Amino acid sequence: MADLTNPNSNSQPLNSAGDAAPASSRQPTVLRCVIGSLIASAFAYGLYSLTMSIALSFASKPVHSSNITVLKISVAVRTLVVGMVALGTGVFGLAAVGLMLLGLQILIQKLVKQPTS
């Protein structure tokens, strides 16, 4: 293991994210955008199905308690669980739409740039 307190240590430094190829050197292509969009939409569909399953499960099993604190906490927890999964659904859905639109924009730019002969 590297001695972090000794600056004269002979161990090799760890590779950092900056050592890798810069992200700007890899331009997005239409194929990458479409594949990324399909992956994001698959995640969004899976999370949507999970959201509906959780919501139906919570709706079919009401909390049986006369204690108002228990009822309020259970409603808050159920809302948070469904909300977090729904947030994930929205994020992946928007990412899928954005990637598809980026692919369309790149495709249009390539078609416009080509000279007509």
pLDDT digits (tens, 9 = 90+) for 49-102: 999 999 999 999 999 999 999 999 999 999 999 999 999 999 999 999 999 999
- pLDDT at 109 (0 to 100): 92
Side chain identity at residue 47, one-letter code: L
Q: How confident is the model at residue 31 (pLDDT cuts 50, 70, 90)?
A: very high
Residue 44 lies in a domain: yes
- pLDDT at 27 (0 to 100): 87
Residue 115 lies in a domain: no
Residue 73 lies in a domain: yes
Nearest-10 Cα torsion for 112, 113, 114, 117: 80
The domain in which residue 77 lies consists of 29-109
Residue 18 lies in a domain: no
Least confident of 6-10, 17-21, 75-79, 106-110: 17-21
Question: Among positive and negative, which fits the CA dihedral 29, 17, 43, 48?
Answer: negative
Residue 117 lies in a domain: no
Residue 19 lies in a domain: no
Question: Cα 47–29–113 angle (5° rounding)?
Answer: 135
Q: How far apart are CA 85 and CA 93, in angstroms?
A: 12
Q: What is the mean pLDDT of the chain?
A: 86
Residue 96 lies in a domain: yes
Q: Number of structural domains, the chain?
A: 1
* Residue that the structure tokens 């000279």 belong to: 115
Residue 35 lies in a domain: yes
